[in-house]
């Protein structure tokens, strides 16, 4: 008897095998691409979150260095802390202006500077953004002057809540009025409302403690 011949694959079997391999590779590639996309979205979202947290921490440090002497001196500096409550389309867009002893963001300083935080439209993108006003030569208007710097795009809301030394909550604080004359808030809650790279909203909140409430 002759030994049986080795039987090869038919064309149909080869085509079926190739189709199965292609299907498996497509499934693996889809899962891999989905994982890469998820990782990229997570990384971008993490970057936005970290930037927003750094900005919030910077604001808290500045606010905690707010300065208000016991009495106005004879210099041309007006020491004031002015926090205004504002809202647009249901979104808080507060502003705050004060004298700070913190190190200036740019330029020289004699130990004091005017600081302001507010929301405004970015002229390049026409989208809301967080801006910081800094004046290293304080004068008789603590709520204007100096230069404004773009801190972050995609921040469309800003909210300040003030607490006095008795724990009472206030939405406004203006030391140029009799109610708050000569008094700084003891604690300030700061919240920013942001959008990530996908346009999804999120918010971050921190608190700033002012160790010296007047002197």
Candidates 213, 209, 212, 134; CA nearest to 181 is 213
pLDDT digits (tens, 9 = 90+) for 119-176: 998 877 788 889 999 998 888 888 888 899 898 888 889 999 999 989 999 999 999 9
DSSP label at residue 140: S
Check residue 20 and give its pLDDT. Answer: 78
5 in any annotated domain? no
Sign of CA dihedral 179, 183, 189, 192: positive
DSSP secondary structure letters along 72-123: --SSS----EEEE--EETTEEB-EEEEEE-SPPSSS--SS-EEEEEEEEE-T
Residue 161 is assigned to a structural domain of this protein: yes
**Structural domain contains residue 36:** no
193 in any annotated domain:
yes
Range(s) of the domain holding residue 88:
48-209
Q: Which of the residues in the chain have pLDDT under 50?
A: 35-36, 38-39, 41-42, 44-45, 105, 107-109, 214-215
Query: Domain tally for the chain?
Result: 1
Residue 28 lies in a domain: no
Inside any domain, residue 62: yes
143, part of any domain: yes
In a domain? residue 87: yes
């Amino acid at each position: 008897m002759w030994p049986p011949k080795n039987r090869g694959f038919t064309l149909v079997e080869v085509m079926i095998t190739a189709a199965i391999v292609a299907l498996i590779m497509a499934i693996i590639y889809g899962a891999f691409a989905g994982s890469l996309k998820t990782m990229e979205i997570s990384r971008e979202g993490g970057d936005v979150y970290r930037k927003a947290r750094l900005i919030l921490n910077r604001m808290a440090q500045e606010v905690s260095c707010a300065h208000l002497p016991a009495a106005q001196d004879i210099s041309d500096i007006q020491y004031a802390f002015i926090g205004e409550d504002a809202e647009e389309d249901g979104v808080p867009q507060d502003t705050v202006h004060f004298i700070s002893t913190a190190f200036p963001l740019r330029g020289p300083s004699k130990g004091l500077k005017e600081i302001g935080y507010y929301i405004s439209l970015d002229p390049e993108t026409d989208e809301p953004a967080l801006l910081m006003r800094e004046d290293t030569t304080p004068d008789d208007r603590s709520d204007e002057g100096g230069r404004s710097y773009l801190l972050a795009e995609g921040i469309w809301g800003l909210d300040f809540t003030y607490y006095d030394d008795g724990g009472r909550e206030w939405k406004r604080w203006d030391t140029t009025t009799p109610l708050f004359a000569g008094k700084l808030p003891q604690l300030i809650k700061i919240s920013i409302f942001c959008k990530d790279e996908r346009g999804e909203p999120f918010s971050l909140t921190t608190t700033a403690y002012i160790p010296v409430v007047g002197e």
